Amino acid sequence: MLVLGLQGSPRRKGNTHFLLSAFLEAAARRGALTRTVSVNEADIQPCRELGVCERRGICPIRDDVSREVYGLIREAEVVALASPVFFYGMTAQIKALVDRCQVFWARKYRLGLADPRRTTRRGFVLSVGATRGKNLFEGLLLSARYFLDAIDAPLAGSLLYRGIEAPGDMARHGSVREEVEAAVESLLAPLLARKRLLFLGGENGRRSPMAAAFAGRRAADAWQVLAAGLRPAAALQPGVAEAMAEKGIDIGFERPRSLEEALAHGRPDVVVALDAEAAAVRLEGARHEFWELAPAETEPLTRLRDALEARVDDFLGREAGQR
Ligand SMILES: Cc1cc2nc3c(=O)[nH]c(=O)nc-3n(C[C@H](O)[C@H](O)[C@H](O)COP(=O)(O)O)c2cc1C
């Protein structure tokens, strides 16, 4: 499970950096994978309001957001937005990233697409400010709430510290470590308690991403769903994302992953092989299934999609019956 931190302060070793690092370290100690996007060091251009995302659900601006951050946000199950208060809002650097996430807003509200992880992903806000006023975090929290809604990571909690100004102030705070531990524990415990289900194929470009998306949509609260290929392709096969979009499911930012990448999330409880080569793989401690598809089920792509949806429904029904 990926916990993604968006570090919005231009100070490399300042208070926000300290707070987010403590949050991600607490998540890693509990078994989560973690990543940080330091927005001040990344190539992030502001939104130019070209309108392409509203029509087609993509952003034509080529930078680190389109190259990497969109995919990380979709992969993450916890997104922590971390920013100091600058003039009662978030920093300009992180606001630029937030605005570029209009892509997710458009895919969700204009194009009617649903992210398979939308039921489980959670958002969290970490912030610091120098003064102590009652309204110090209101502007930042209002923007953050709408951003987190757009990326399907509803605000689950926040840690906000007043009177924090000089770079070492946060580290000197008496109770921050305990407060971070408690917040991370309650946020992650239900997500880490899920069993892991891995769909394994050849290229992870066609069958396994479709199966994983159906399983994620139906049962992400009970299963951490992963997909991988023995020889991962560079991208999903043409037409796969469009076929899933016909079902209202958004896998537009998915990319094929290797088995090693999937196993970094932890040992799977169940491995579903989607071709004969994958069926030969044995992972210690996992239960293995092989879903052999009839030739008629695999052509055209929409028939394969519907066959996989039926298999996933059947699998989840069986598993729910056993619980
Ligand atoms: C441009 C700028 C604007 C700021 N605006 C506010 C503000 O409106 N309210 C406040 O309490 N602190 C404000 N601060 C102070 C920072 O929030 C504070 O120093 C914080 O600890 C910096 O966190 P960092 O070390 O993570 O960058 C501002 C600082 C800067 C540089």
The pLDDT of residue 146 is 98
Quote the tokens at residue 125: 């806000």
pLDDT of 59 above 80: yes
- The pLDDT assigned to 295 comes to 87
pLDDT of residue 323: 65
Query: Range of 124's domain?
Result: 2-192
Closest ligand 1 atom number to CA of residue 10: 27
Contact 158, 123 (CB under 8 A): no
- Mean confidence (pLDDT) of the chain: 97
Do 38 and 7 contact (CB within 8 A), yes or no?
yes
- Of 140, 162, 192, the position where a domain reaches its end is 192
Pocket test for ligand 1, best of 17, 41, 85, 143 (most atoms within 8 A of CB): 85
Q: Which CATH number do you get for residue 101?
A: 3.40.50.360
Write down which residue in 149, 176, 192 finishes a domain.
192
Both 108 and 252 in one domain: the answer is: no
pLDDT exceeds 90 at position 299:
no
Q: How far is the CA of 86 from the centre of ligand 1 (A)?
A: 5
Q: Is the pLDDT of residue 309 over 70?
A: yes
In this structure, the residues whose C-beta lies within 6 A of any atom of ligand 1 are 9, 11, 14-16, 84-88, 128-131, 136, 164-165, 167
Residue 22 contacts residue 90 (beta carbons within 8 Å): no
Residue-level pLDDT at 139: 98
Query: Of 171, 192, 213, at which residue does a domain stop?
Result: 192
What does the alpha-carbon distance between residue 264 and residue 66 come to, in Å, rounded to a whole number?
24
What pLDDT does 322 receive?
A: 79
**Residue 166 Cα distances to 13, 30, 134, angstroms:** 11, 31, 20
Backbone dihedral angles phi then psi of residue 11, each to the nearest 5 degrees: -75, 120
User: Which stretch of 1-5, 85-89, 297-301 has the lowest confidence by average pLDDT?
Assistant: 297-301
Tokens read off for 93: 């650097």
| Phi, psi dihedrals of residue 15, rounded to the nearest 5° | -70, -40
What are 22-29's contacts with CB under 8 Å, separation 24+?
A: 22/176, 22/177, 22/180, 23/80, 23/82, 23/124, 23/126, 23/159, 23/180, 23/183, 23/184, 24/80, 26/180, 26/181, 26/184, 26/185, 27/3, 27/78, 27/184, 27/188, 28/3
Query: Ligand 1 pocket check: which of 6, 11, 13, 86 to mutate, most ligand atoms within 8 Å of Cβ?
Result: 86
Mean pLDDT for the stretch of residues 77-101: 98
Mean pLDDT of 30-38: 98
Per-residue pLDDT at 163: 98
pLDDT for 61-71, tens place per residue? 999 999 999 99
The DSSP annotation for 145-171 comes to HHHHHHTT--EEEEEEESS--STTTTT
pLDDT in tens, 138-186: 999 999 999 999 999 999 999 999 999 999 999 999 999 999 999 999 9
Query: Mean of the pLDDT values across residues 300-310?
Result: 97
What tens digit of pLDDT does each residue of 203-238 get?
A: 999 999 999 999 999 999 999 999 999 999 999 999
- Based on the fold, state whether residues 164 and 254 are members of the same structural domain: no
Say if residue 199 is in the same domain as residue 182: no
Helix/strand/coil for 224: strand
The model's pTM: 0.97
Task: Give the pLDDT mean for 272-287.
Answer: 97
Confidence of residue 255 (pLDDT cuts 50, 70, 90): very high
Separation CA 222–CA 229 (nearest Å): 23
Provide the percentage of residues in the chain whose pLDDT is more than 70: 100
302 pLDDT more than 90? yes
- The reported pLDDT for the residue numbered 138 is 98
The pLDDT-based confidence of 298 (bands split at 50, 70, 90) is: confident
Q: What is the pLDDT of residues 44-58, one digit of tens each?
A: 999 999 999 999 999
Pair (71, 174) in one structural domain: yes
67 and 177 fall within a common domain: yes
Domain count, the chain: 2
